[in-house]
Chains A and B, each alone.
Chain A
């Protein structure tokens, strides 16, 4: 489409084209220096054994990668990253859609109020959210355990949620969903508001229930937005999970909540193992790049179907 539009425009004079190139040079140079070169440098550094400081670097070729693929902590962290990515995406998208549907298409009192309330987590900084939920999940006197105790679940109320290997990842997942749901809900509401009421009315006349309207009208008509948001969220969740893990548990207890970016950070700085950290970084880059390709491939085939 872009090419067609360009063809239609009048031919650009060579002098003007030269000037345009000249004007583009600075931005392009900045892009190369601050984006492309550092990325390439990650790959270069991943081939070295280096403490991260000073000149004492040793070329080890794929040594760091070999070590990485043989390392249990790496695979555990990778597993946690993928789990959080998939589970958080599914839960966030589903709940955001349901809430958006309820708030835009049903007759709930105080819709505007709920829209604001759901959106609030999104304007809080991740550190604030981490601090709030550290207090919610505290074993002794935490809000969550207080609620469990009120509900009569004495045994559950004694669990230290963030210090228990079995529960910590679930807590991080909950916070991720809690944080993101409002933002995506607002996006979906915007999409749903664009659907004409008349379609719903005619469906009602045909006897459609709320659920039928949701699956047969709302979902198909907001599908475009859903596809974009899923891509955004999946790539964003890798960063979000790192921020939350860093602030809430730092990967503990015993790596039970470690995600790849956290392992990378620890190895590169805490363990003075910079080259290995960069190997994880390179792996992450390839992984997310591949993931984006897969998602965009899925979306393009979808757009052919619809």
Chain B
């Protein structure tokens, strides 16, 4: 009896370290199946409902070949994927936009862990007779958002896009500023001219109780960056914007480039003060627009859905326009979200077919219907409209790139580079907060700090 007890105790002790290990082994591992690709997806504003139908459609299309998808969509997908990649067992395909706090996509760019897919662009979309390159809207396959190494090669594809521009209350504006309404600005000068309309007594303090208004509110300073990109593209040209994105310091000698930063300083005293308050919830700042406390708000097409729980001031109606003309026309910078294949994937051929499939009309329809989003393909908006997938007003946001007053598309983002102690986000948009809130910051000082950091980051740019 005593021996038996001892034996049981010994066995239990020996089994103790096996407990955590046992959890690691799954019964059926999709990664082991050569026909099944593993997709790790970020679950953001567009949710994860669309993945189920994407999977069904892809597997139906490739039923003969037996290709299958195993997907996992999570808000904190980085936490799942990072250890897998380090163990050499990462997923085959990842959808994860850059600009996330944990910056996994940026780390992959830096460690050259993403598969080059330039050749894929000349392949046909599954089930269609059109090349991937021609299916994606012009302007979306340039710049470091898709070609991070500045070598002309494409590594990432833009899965979703959303135009960014200025929201306003349609009922406060008309085209000529008559009937007690404001004139809807087209140029930056028009915009600044509204200063006297919103603050007639001209003193620096805006008093909401007297019916005065702020010209501008922003959710948080990150949203100002796309506005600056569009203004730089308009005033100094897209070449200057590309130089800015590539940390090329020659752009800091361009008077047009400098002009953009100096002009934004003119917004001081006209920006809704909670905008730069980090204690403030970004939705509260967005609410300033809905309550007519501020006339304009830079944001993306998701704003009305995001603010559905808030009650706007009576008569409020969303209007959306491209960023303002500073001399070279109006631009709307498009926010895109990256989709790519890991270099360590062992099923790249299937993964490439999947990537191309995501830009098919079939996928566009599923994404428009189930996610309320658009892929940047030439047909996606038409498909959504024909099938009435969106609320009516939403089409107009995506329409800003077409028609008589079409805004030009600017895309791209900062090159992959990291230098110890350089927090580019602070230097770039954090300093805009400073500029708006404190007299310690000036446009000249802001530009100098940007230039100093750019010198360091330029040398640290990742080369292939």
Instruction: Mark A residues whose CB is within 8 Å of B.
Output: 19, 22-23, 25-27, 29-30, 33, 50-54, 56, 64, 67-68, 71-74, 134-135, 137-140, 142, 160-163, 248-250, 252-255, 266-267, 269-273, 276
Contacts and interface: CB of A to CB of B under 8 A. Distances in A.
Given A140-B277, A252-B426, A273-B420, A53 B85 contact: yes
A253 B103 CA distance: 20
B362 interface: no
Q: Which of A27, A33, A68, A254 counts the most B-chain CB atoms under 10 A from its CB?
A: A254
B107 interface: yes
B185 to A, nearest CB: 26
B273 A139 contact: yes
Contact of B82 (A53, A134, A160, A249): A53
A270 B102 contact: yes
B108 interface: yes
A64 B419 CA distance: 12
Interface stretch (B11-19, B23-31, B42-50, B62-70): B11-19
Given A26-B17, A160-B437, A271-B418, A248 B111 contact: no
Contacts of A137: 279
Given A30-B16, A270-B103, A271-B103, A163 B112 contact: no
Interface in B396-430: 418, 420-423, 426, 430
A149 to B, nearest CB: 14
B104 interface: yes
16 contacts: A19-B10, A27-B16, A29-B17, A52-B111, A54-B108, A56-B111, A138-B277, A160-B279, A162-B278, A163-B437, A248-B279, A252-B426, A253-B430, A269-B102, A271-B418, A273-B420
A267 B423 CA distance: 9
Given A22-B13, A54-B108, A163 B277 contact: yes
Contacts of A250: 278
Nearest to B280: A138
Nearest to A249: B278
Contacts, number: 126
A71 B420 contact: yes
Nearest to B343: A54
A252 B278 contact: yes
A68 B280 CA distance: 33
Q: Closest 7 CB pairs between A and B? A: A54-B111, A162-B279, A26-B16, A272-B107, A51-B111, A51-B110, A160-B277
Interface string B57-88: 00000000000000000000000001001100
A163 B104 contact: no
A172 to B, nearest CB: 12
Given A51-B111, A253-B278, 15 more contacts: A22-B13, A30-B17, A51-B110, A52-B82, A52-B107, A52-B111, A67-B420, A68-B420, A138-B280, A160-B437, A254-B430, A254-B434, A269-B102, A271-B420, A272-B103
Nearest to A57: B111
A169 to B, nearest CB: 13
B6 interface: yes
Contacts of B273: 139-140, 160
A239 B362 CA distance: 50
Given A22-B13, A54-B111, A160-B273, A253 B280 contact: no
Interface in B220-247: none
A50 B85 CA distance: 14
Nearest to A160: B277
A38 B437 CA distance: 44
